[in-house]
A = this chain, B = another copy of it.
C-alpha cells in the first residue's frame, strides 16, 4: 500500500456537494466509484475540504491508499481520468507519506469567487459566475474587506448548521480585481473556514460595493457575531476551491 495524493478539478453544477451520500450524485461518491473500477476494491478517500452543492474546484486535494504498487503516478492519473465522469478531472498525482491527510495538513486554502457585473447576462458564465447587474465599486469592497483580515470570530459570516466548538478562523488575504470590464474576482486566502464563510464574505462585500452599506459596516457585522446582521450568502455557483497549499 502506498498513500497517494491527487489534485483534481470538478464542475459542481451537477453534484449534490462533495461528501458521499446514499442515492445522490456527489464528487466523493463518483471519485470513489472510479477508484473502485480501477483497483477492483473499495477505496476510501480523504479530502482537504468539503464543498457545498454547486460549488466548483480547480484544485481540490484528496489522498487514499493505493493497493497496487506497480502503477506510476502517471498511470494512476490516466486510469482515473479514463474512469471519471466528464465533470471531474485529475490534474496531478503524487506519492506521499503514509499518514498524509489533506484536511489536517493544509496550510492555506484559496477560494475564487466570480461576479458578472453587467446589465447584460452572459449565458456562457451562468454556471460559473454570480450575475449581479448593479454597478459595484471595488474600491469600497476592498476597504470593507480589510476588516476581515486576521483571526476573528466569523460566526456572523457563516451558515447555520452543526455548531462549531471554535468559531475563530484566520483570513490571510482578500484580493478583489476586475479581470475584464464586467468580471470581478474575489480571491480569499485563509487557513480554514466556517461553513458558507466565503459566500457570506462575498455577499456582505457586495452590499458595500453597491453602496447600501459603508465599508465599516463589515466591522460592525463581524463584531456582532450575529448571523441576522449579515447579508446572507452569495450563490454557490460563483465559488471555486482554487488551490490548497501544504
Report which A residues bind B (CB closer than 8 A).
9-11, 56, 81, 86-89, 91, 120-124, 126, 128
Docked Cα-Cα span, A146 to B239, in Å, equals 43
* CA gap between A10 and B87 in the complex, in Å: 21
B56 touches A88 (CB 8 A): no
Q: Which residue of B lies closest to A89 (CB)?
A: B123
A160 to chain B, nearest CB (A): 28
Contact B123 A87 (CB under 8 A): yes
Bound CA span A183–B209, Å: 32
Q: How far is the CB of A241 from chain B (nearest CB, A)?
A: 13
Residues of B contacting A10 in the complex (Cβ-Cβ under 8 angstroms): 123
Residues of B within 8 A of A122 (CB): 9
Q: Could you say which of B9, B123, B128 contacts A9, with CB atoms under 8 Å apart?
A: B123
B56 touches A124 (CB 8 A): yes
Q: In the complex, which residues of chain B have a beta carbon less than 8 angstroms from the beta carbon of A128?
A: 124
CB distance from A236 to the nearest CB of B (A): 15
Closest residue of chain B to A58 (Cβ to Cβ) is: B124
A10, B11: Cα distance in complex, Å: 20
Contacts of A87 in B (CB 8 A): 123, 126
Which B residues are in CB contact (< 8 Å) with A126? 11, 86-87
A58 CB to closest chain B CB (Å) equals 8
Q: Ordered nearest first, which 3 A-B pairs have the shortest CB separation? A: A89-B123, A89-B121, A9-B123
- Between-chain CB contacts (< 8 Å), 18 pairs: A9-B122, A9-B123, A9-B124, A10-B123, A11-B123, A11-B124, A11-B126, A56-B124, A81-B121, A86-B123, A86-B126, A87-B123, A87-B126, A88-B123, A89-B121, A89-B123, A91-B120, A124-B128
In angstroms, Cα B86 to Cα A176, docked, is 28
Considering only CB atoms, which chain B residue lies closest to A56 in the complex? B124
